[in-house]
Structure 1
Amino acid sequence: MQSLADTSRATAEDFVLIGYVDLDGVVRGKYATAEKFAAWQKKGGAFCSVVLGWDSRDALYDNGHTGWATGYHDDPIRIVPGEGRMMPGEGRRFHLMEYADGPGAAVCPRRLAGRVVEKAAEMGFAAKAGFEYEFYVFRETPTTALAKGYRNLTPFSPTTGGYSILRTAVEDEFFSGMMALARDLGTPLEAIHPEAGEGAMEFAFTPADAMEAADRAVIYKTFSKAWGQRNGLTLCYMAKPINGLPGCGGHTHLSLWKDGRSAFHDPAAEHGLSETARHYIGGQRKYMAELLALYAPTINAFTRLAPGFWAPTGATWGLDNRTCSLRVIGDSEKSLRVEVRPPAADANPYLVLAAALASGLAGICEKIDPGPPFKGNGYDADLPEALRFPDSLAEAAARLRRSDMAREWFGDAFVEHFARSREAEVAAQRATVSDWELHRYFEMI
């Protein structure tokens, strides 16, 4: 039998890969001829609206935008301006697309983030961001992991080794490959290292303008998984894939700038924080629980938000305090920023950016005081109900739907659509018999 490698292949110039980022952060798209792509760049195109009504496993859910009643119509799309990214392998280019003006744009994650960034600009601010991700690496393929029922998987490293130089030296091919991939994709990494946990890893992107930062996060996460699979590995960005070990955060660093200077930095103020910074933190803190579904969008994400596992359980803020939801770090104009720690690695970067930035901007508009920074163990904070996190995706979706702030900043169409998508996720889980239930009830009950 002839192998795929032996067949005639299209040249890099023949086709372009285009991708849309859905609500779950899954990049969906297709190859298009160079001629068709050029036409879409010039005049726009159309893409099936089913990607606005699919869950992450291609199951349809009821929503107000697309469905059988509409025939799953096409919506107008546009190519995100720019040169795109050079894909590893054959050297073809990858370009992001987004839904163009119209109903699709109202529920498109990238368009939502763009509208919030535009609102920041109207207020005189430029937003900069840097995403960082924790993930687990397994010496498995998706096929072998499925065959094992996702149990007893072989981790990349046999024991834990957070920040281990031994690990980086022994596994140089892995780390060199990840760094080279980031370079080739134009998604530069600032750091990468082993984390605590068997096979646990973490990387951080170099900060960039907010939308570019989110684009980099989406693109690198997707192609790093592909690179892993091509090398017999599975890179897992689930919020918590292993019982008893810390989960995977998608921490997001944000700062605001005005006229080329940090809007957060005031060396004469307490802690070096300007009034703008304090109000920004105040807004993020006030609205965090209402927007948690955007930071923790899966059933699994709520297993990560537990005391003692490096993930917060309520809306707190502190100075270089990793037990708090908002960690203020940096001691200079250039470095001062707010790290938003609730997001999981499985969250959509555009929705994380939209939630974190919009809540901060709302705080500036409303002049919300954040209160004093929390000192000590943030898990011990005595918080009012409004600042405590929902303890399930169902509750988080309900909180989002009731949020006046979310409706004001994101629009009714998006809030309803996203809440329905999370309710569909909850319904799918509730209809499934889990391993935990079988182990607990099968014999004795």
Structure 2
Amino acid sequence: MSRMQARDIKTADDARRIVEERGLSHVKVGMFDIDGVMLGKYMRRDKFFAALESGFSFCDVVLGWDSKDELYDNVSFTGWHTGYPDAPLTIVPDSCRDLPSEGEDMLLFLAEFDGPASDICPRGLLKRVLARAREMGFEVCGSLEYEFFMFQETPESIREKGFRDLKPLTPDMMGYSMLRSSVHSELYHELLALSEAMDFPIEGLHTETGPGVLEAAIAVDDALAAGDKGALFKTFTKVWAQRRGLMATFMAKWSPDYPGQSGHIHLSLRDIASGKSAFFDPEGPYRMSAIQRHFVAGQQKLMPEWLAMFAPTINSYTRLIPGFWAPTDATWGVENRTTALRVIPGSDKSQRVEYRLGSADANPYLALSAAIAAGLCGIEQRLEPDAQVKGNAYELDHPEHQALPRTLWDAAQRLKASSEARQWLGDAFVEHFAATREWEERQFRRAITDWELDRYFEII
């Protein structure tokens, strides 16, 4: 009998069999929190088998603290007022993956929250949105592409330097450089091999404009799998880099001297009944069907209200400025990279829309959920988009209703006030996520920046 392969696992019985076949004493189990940070632990074999049958529990503080393990003081779901109880989780058997960095036999499984915690679980949110899509007769296909900067630094060295004077992997602005990718081909090959082994296959990898910056496009899949692949790609690219004495960052903008880092989302719908693209109409303008037009209109309408899900950190908003390849208003265009939404004409297979607003620091599950739900809302309401932008969107004046919030606080207020967000994402999620973004802003307001010291310390 041939050896079982991790990505062939579909059921709890399959998961049990592969662990037994490989003689593993432990497996690794992880989940993603509200910021898209992967958390988890090693789980002993007998505990894992029991969890396959009846689930397991994890302290719900992982949904009640921020990316620095500081406790939120403004969320109702959990806190000192609840005593931080355990929350139930379910193992996802078909998420099984090999972990090449931990030997040829080690396995990783994803888990998702169950019970009340499922209302704010990022993966659970995406599943609910996709269930709504199926009820409307659509399957959703998606892919994510990320820009990330690489440094010749370690977690220790960046802190010793106070995050200043960091040494990029390579110098200068050399986008699409064959020189850079050839000189460092071993690193590229290792990352490509990792992406295949862990099933987040990279279909394109190249340098972008900036010292040490790369862009990776992950292959298209159904939208839930795309969320898993994006989240795992970000986590294990960082793992891969640090194991080699390097660091990768996905923060939206690490330096004012260079463009920010995007997390673009490509989406299309397929009609379940016919199996054909719901976006493709060979007779329509730009081959856009009415369904795609309504989808784009929903994304455009709700972009200002749902911005916090695509730009979830204080740093995200330093990227959203004119002339740095990031949109500043809820605009759309055909094959226009200055707009927030880029319609890409193609065939039944390739007709799609690219949501260019997203930052690399966004939680992949939440960004996908929002991009898809907004489009479905547009279909449901039969919305029509504003006139498309032709030419440079940065140089044009746009209607006031297309303006995006300029701060995380303002974005959180718009999300809380959005009736469509509550309808499509749920009251529990909207209240919790908006509160976490308000917390993030309040934490920032306590900080004294280098800019303030330089500007005011002596002269004022």
State the TM-score, normalizing by the size of structure 2.
0.93
Partner residue in 2 for 1:71: 83
How much has 1:271 moved relative to structure 2?
Answer: 1.2
Structure 2 unpaired stretches of 5+: 1-21
Q: Following the alignment from structure 1 to structure 2, what is the Cα–Cα distance between the partners of residues 79 and 439?
A: 51
| 1:244 paired residue among 222, 243, 257 | 257
1:358 has 2:373 as partner = yes
Partner of 2:51: 40
Q: Which amino acid aligns with 2:317?
A: F
Q: Are positions 1:97 and 2:111 aligned together?
A: yes
User: Residue deviations 1:115-168, cap 9 Å, x none?
Assistant: 000100000000000000001000000110111011110011111210000001
CA separation of 1:35 and 1:254: change in aligned 2, threshold 3 A: same
Alignment of 1:177-326 (within 5 A): 177-258=190-271, 259-326=274-341
Q: In the alignment, which of 167, 186, 200 is matched to residue 180 of structure 2? A: 167
For residues 23 and 326 of structure 2, the distance between their equivalents in structure 1, rounded to whole angstroms, comes to: 43
Give distance in 1, aligned partners of 2:427 and 2:346: 39
The equivalent position to 1:88 in structure 2, one of 100, 112, 118, is: 100
Task: Please show how residues 287-436 of structure 1 align to structure 2 within 5 Å.
Answer: 287-436=302-451
CA distance in 1, matches of 2:213, 2:190: 16
Are residue 56 (structure 1) and residue 70 (structure 2) matched?
Answer: no
How far the C-alpha of 1:81 sits from its partner, in A, is: 2.9
Q: Give the distance between the partners of 1:330 and 1:190, measured in 2 at CA.
A: 20
Distance 2:46 2:400 in 1: 56
Matched with 1:21 is: 32
| d(CA) in 2 for partners of 1:126, 1:330 | 19
**How far apart, in 2, do the equivalents of 1:411 and 1:385 lie?**
27
Measured after TM superposition, the shift of residue 442 of structure 1 is 1.1
Letter in 1 for 2:57: A
> 2:242 is paired with a residue of what secondary structure?
helix
Counterpart-to-counterpart distance in 2, 1:150 and 1:66: 33
The match for 1:4 is: none
Measured in 2, the distance between the counterparts of 1:326 and 1:81 equals 35
User: 1:48-107 CA deviation, whole Å, 9 max, x = no partner?
Assistant: 10011110000001211011111100111101231511112223111111111x210111
AA aligned opposite 1:41: L
CA 1:285–1:208 in 2, change beyond 3 Å: closer, same or farther?
same
Alignment partner for residue 127 of structure 2, among 91, 104, 114?
114
- Give the whole-Å Cα distance in 2 for the aligned partners of 1:53 and 1:12: 36
Structure-2 separation of matches of 1:408 and 1:223: 34
Distance 1:197 1:371 in 2: 34
Q: Aligned partners of 1:72 and 1:402: how far apart in 2?
A: 28
Shift of 1:382: 2.5
> Is 1:158 equivalent to 2:171 in the alignment?
yes
Alignment size in residue pairs? 434
Task: Give secondary structure in 2 for the equivalent of 1:127.
Answer: strand
Give the 3-state SS of the residue equivalent to 2:149 in structure 1. strand
| Secondary structure, aligned partner of 1:82 | strand
1:43 and 1:385 map into 2 onto residues whose CA distance is 52
SS in 2 for 1:212: helix
**Compared with structure 1, are the counterparts of its residues 366 and 381 closer, same or farther at alpha carbon in structure 2 (3 Å cutoff)?**
farther
Question: 3-state SS of the aligned residue for 2:69?
Answer: coil
**Aligned counterparts of 1:211 and 1:274: Cα–Cα separation in 2:** 24
- Number of the residue aligned with 2:138: 125
1:181-218 Cα shifts (integer Å, max 9, x gaps): 10111111110000000111100001000000110011
Quote the sequence identity (%). Answer: 49
Q: Which amino acid aligns with 1:17?
A: K
Unaligned 5+ runs, structure 1: 1-10
Partners of 2:318 and 2:380 in 1: CA distance: 34
